[in-house]
Chain A
Amino acid sequence: MIEVRISKALELFSLQVDIKLSEGSSLALVGSSGCGKSMTLRMIAGLEQPDEGYVKVGNTVFYDSSERIFVPAYKRHVGFLFQNYALFPHLTVEQNIAFGLNHRHKRERQEKVDSILERLRLKGLEKRYPQYISGGQQQRVALARTLVTDPELLLLDEPFSALDSQVKKKMEKEVIDVRNAFSGTLILVTHSLEEAFRLCSNIAVMDNGKIIQLGTKDEIIRQPANRTVARLTGTENIFDGTVIERYGETARLWVEELNVHLTIPNTLKQDKLSLGIRTAQLIVEQDPGTRGRDPENSFSGRIVQTIPTPDGQFVFIQLAGDRASLSDNSTLAHRQRDYDLQAYVPFNDGKSDHRPFQPGDPCRVVFSISSIAVWPRDKG
């Protein structure tokens, strides 16, 4: 069990973090830059001293303000992967990797270094200096240097931000492999939800020095606790609404912004709610007129704008029922954006009637009830 409960006054806000992790699990701290996630990691590693609280890993107390215990970083035996790898430029790859083994016996040291060189495919680079190997190789050396010390807790501080996207994909796979072989606990700090998703089973969303939601990947994506989490986890379509009727499993919600009624899961007691739906969850169909059926939560609209991607397209949709589309120019001028919804439509080449959307195309949008996330509306 890893227990972290620390607070520290920073320049812009005060950091207050409370995390409990079972051994062997993996947690991603996600947040925008400057939210305090790296500072949290540094305090766990002992590189910064909190103002108050405690840090316990297993039975070892690293920090406890009430008992005036502060174990310095060099005694904590925690693995740490730095943002820019922090390889020692004056040491070879081999010497870098052996840096944390200086108290070990010479033979044991050599054996450990050799085995990790093999494992991370660094054979042949032993005598090179870090400046003369590629970014991906540097990353692997940094990983090797940490893993060779057999840490029980591995901390990763934005480990992939300096890599280009191709190397990044490979490295992430590498880390997943290592992760699977590594029995300890892992905490990853990142601003990228995708990274968090690939590497960790739990996600903590941080904002202004506080964890605003901690849960499994699924919970964070499907049940964001508030608007900030929804935004940070990439939910593009967020609206406020008011419950007007409830029937068992579902409820009827009036969304003034879109001028529509929506059927949503009846999971919250509050009447004033916000709802979010991810771009890829929104179903967009062509040719609304030709089909007879009219499923629940389906609305006709018009494509305003499209953005192509290699595997599909983003479409921006204006709903037909929306007041702004009723040629009321004065209302239109006051609106911040000229679309109501944003959706991602993957290309589906198998279908015979496939054709990418063009601006101006009519369409039908379906909010599937199970993919709508709801949370109590923020006050104020």
Chain B
Amino acid sequence: MSISDLTPLYLSLRLALTATFIGLLIGLPIAWYLGNTQWKGREVLDSLISIPMVLPPTVLGYYLLVILGRNSWIGQLAERLGTPLVFTTRGAIIAATVVSIPFFIKTARSAIEGIPSNLLDAARVLGRTELNIFFSVVIPNAWKGIVAGLVLMFARALGDFGTTLMVSGGIPGETLTMPIAIYNAMLAGDQSTANLLALIMAGTALMVLILINLLNRQVGRRGNR
């Protein structure tokens, strides 16, 4: 692999973006539900969702392999449909999503919970349905927290190594993401490639942090008024 070969970068970006998009679709309704419900089991559900944050990535990858692999019914179903999951880009996306979605759900949940319940009640008595309130009150007042959660999720998805490697290996052009490429370059003694890729990753991380800080500061400023 030469320095100019930035396929892993594009692949990583594509995987992380896809994972973030899936996370938004799945995670936002969950965050909304968790932020609104009085259901007693909500903290249990929240804990279950947070498991990927504390589990070692390889362990998580192992369980994903078990769940998605050729011996599970999910894996067999996927195989029969002609879309095998493990050792494919699809598998890598699933791994990245599972690893990173808790970051989004937790951040979005606290942003949604931060909306005064008075506002939601006011919208209700003014004739708006819950779904309407979600788009007309919840999103406009919590979007900064939601975006911050997405940025965090994207960063986590971009940087995943262990889980992706376990689930999808490191197939060049298909599942060989940046972190894996860095590891491979180091193993092959290709310091300059490792150097460049690591620098790009570090730069991305820094940008993510700045973005989140900006979002948080604006959220805080609004709250002070």
Which among B57-65, B123-131, B167-175 touches the partner chain? B123-131
Task: Establish whether residues A74 and B140, one from each chain, have CB atoms under 8 Å apart when the complex forms.
Answer: no
Is A16 an interface residue when CB atoms closer than 8 A count as contact?
no
Shortest Cβ distance from residue B89 to the other chain A in the assembled complex, whole angstroms: 39
**Interface-facing stretch out of B100-108, B113-121, B149-157:** B113-121
Q: Which residues of A contact B129 (CB under 8 A)?
A: 74
Q: Are B128 and A74 in contact (CB under 8 A)?
A: yes
Identify which of A76, A86, A91, A146 contacts B118 (C-beta below 8 A).
A86
Q: Determine, out of A77-85, A231-239, A267-275, the stretch whose residues face the partner at the interface.
A: A77-85
Q: How distant is the Cα of A83 from the Cα of B121 in the complex, in angstroms?
A: 12
Residue contact B118 to A88, C-beta cutoff 8 Å: no
Q: Which of A75, A86, A90, A103 contacts B121 (CB 8 A)?
A: A86
Q: How far is the CA of A79 from the CA of B122 in the complex (A)?
A: 9
Query: Could you tell me the distance between the alpha carbons of A47 and B119 in the complex, rounded to whole angstroms?
Result: 12
Interface of A, helix, strand, loop or mixed by DSSP: loop
From A80, A90, A131, give the contact of B122 (CB < 8 A): A80
Among candidates A46, A89, A131, A149, residue contacting B126 with C-beta atoms closer than 8 Å: A149
Is residue B141 contacting chain A, with contact meaning CB distance below 8 A?
Answer: yes
* B80 surroundings in chain A (CB, below 8 A): none
Let me know if A77 and B127 touch, CB within 8 A. Answer: yes
Query: Residue on A with the closest CB to B123?
Result: A99
A88 touches B122 (CB 8 A): yes
Which residues in B have their C-beta under 8 angstroms from that of A80? Answer: 121-122, 125
Residues of A within 8 A of B141 (CB): 88-90
Whether A243 is near chain B, meaning CB under 8 Å from some CB there, is no
- B137: CB under 8 A from chain A? yes
| Total interface residues in chain B, CB < 8 Å | 18
Q: Which residues of A have CB within 8 Å of B125?
A: 45-47, 73-74, 76, 78-80
Q: Is A145 engaged at the interface, CB distance under 8 Å to the other chain?
A: yes
A100 touches B119 (CB 8 A): no
Q: Is the CB of B121 within 8 A of A100?
A: no
Asked if B222 is at the interface (CB within 8 A of a chain A CB), the reply is: yes
- Distance to closest chain A CB from B220 (angstroms): 14
Q: How far is the CA of A73 from the CA of B124 in the complex (A)?
A: 6
Contact with B along A56-88 (1 / 0, CB 8 A): 000000000000000011111111101110111
| Complex contact A86–B127 (CB within 8 A) | no
**For the complex, is B225 an interface residue (Cβ under 8 Å from A)?**
yes
Q: How far is the CB of B142 from chain A (nearest CB, A)?
A: 10
**Most central of B126, B127, B222 by chain A CB within 10 Å:** B126
A166 within 8 A of B: no
- Contact check, A82 vs B126: say whether CB atoms are below 8 A apart: no
Cα A298 to Cα B126 in complex, Å, equals 58
Residues of B within 8 Å of A78, CB to CB, are 125
CA distance A77 to B126 in the complex (A): 7
Report chain A residues within 8 Å CB of B123.
88, 99
**Are A99 and B126 in contact, CB atoms less than 8 angstroms apart?**
yes
The residue in B119, B129, B137 that gathers the most chain A C-beta atoms within 10 A of its C-beta is B119
State in angstroms the CA–CA spacing of A45 and B122 once bound together. 10
**Cα distance A87–B126 in the bound complex, in angstroms:** 12
How far does the alpha carbon of A75 sit from the alpha carbon of B127 in the complex, in Å? Answer: 6
Q: Which of B116, B124, B128, B140 makes the CB contact (< 8 A) with A90? A: B140
Interface: A102 (CB within 8 A): yes
In the complex, chain A residues 140-171 whose Cβ is within 8 Å of any chain B Cβ: 145-146, 149
Residue ID in chain A nearest B116 by CB atoms: A86
Interface positions of A from 102 to 139, Cβ below 8 Å from B = 102-103, 131
Distance in angstroms from A372 CB to nearest chain B CB is 44
Once the chains bind, are A89 and B122 in contact (CB under 8 Å)? no
B122 → chain A closest CB, angstroms? 4
Write out the residue numbers on chain A whose beta carbons fall within 8 Å of the beta carbon of B118.
Answer: 82-84, 86
| B121 pairs with A88, CB closer than 8 A | no
Q: How far is the CA of A79 from the CA of B125 in the complex (A)?
A: 7
Residue of B nearest to A131 (CB): B225
In the complex, how many angstroms separate the beta carbon of A114 from the nearest chain B beta carbon? 19
Minimum CB distance partner of B224 in chain A: A131
Q: Which residues of A contact B124 (CB under 8 A)?
A: 46-47, 72-74
Residue contact A88 to B127, C-beta cutoff 8 Å:
no
Give the distance in Å from the alpha carbon of A74 to the alpha carbon of B127 in the complex.
Answer: 4
Residues of chain B in range 134-148 having any CB-CB distance to chain A below 8 Å: 136-137, 140-141
Q: How far is the CA of A87 from the CA of B116 in the complex (A)?
A: 10
List, in ascending order, chain A residues with CB within 8 A of B116's CB: 84, 86
Cβ contacts A36-59/B at 8 Å (1 or 0 each): 000000100111000000000000
Bound: A100/B133 CA distance, A: 12
CA distance A146 to B122 in the complex (A): 9
Q: CB-nearest residue of chain B relative to A90?
A: B140
A–B complex contacts, Cβ < 8 Å, 13 sampled: A73-B121, A74-B126, A74-B129, A80-B121, A83-B118, A84-B118, A88-B137, A88-B140, A88-B141, A99-B123, A103-B127, A131-B225, A149-B127
Task: Across the A-B interface, give the 6 residue pairs with the lowest CB-CB distance, nearest first.
Answer: A100-B126, A86-B118, A86-B122, A73-B124, A90-B140, A80-B125
- Which positions in A face B, CB cutoff 8 Å? 42, 45-47, 72-80, 82-84, 86-91, 99-100, 102-103, 131, 145-146, 149
Knowing that A86-B122, A88-B119 are A-B contacts, what are 11 other residue pairs whose CB atoms are under 8 Å apart, sorted by A's residue number? A42-B121, A47-B121, A74-B127, A82-B121, A84-B116, A86-B116, A86-B118, A88-B140, A88-B141, A89-B222, A99-B126
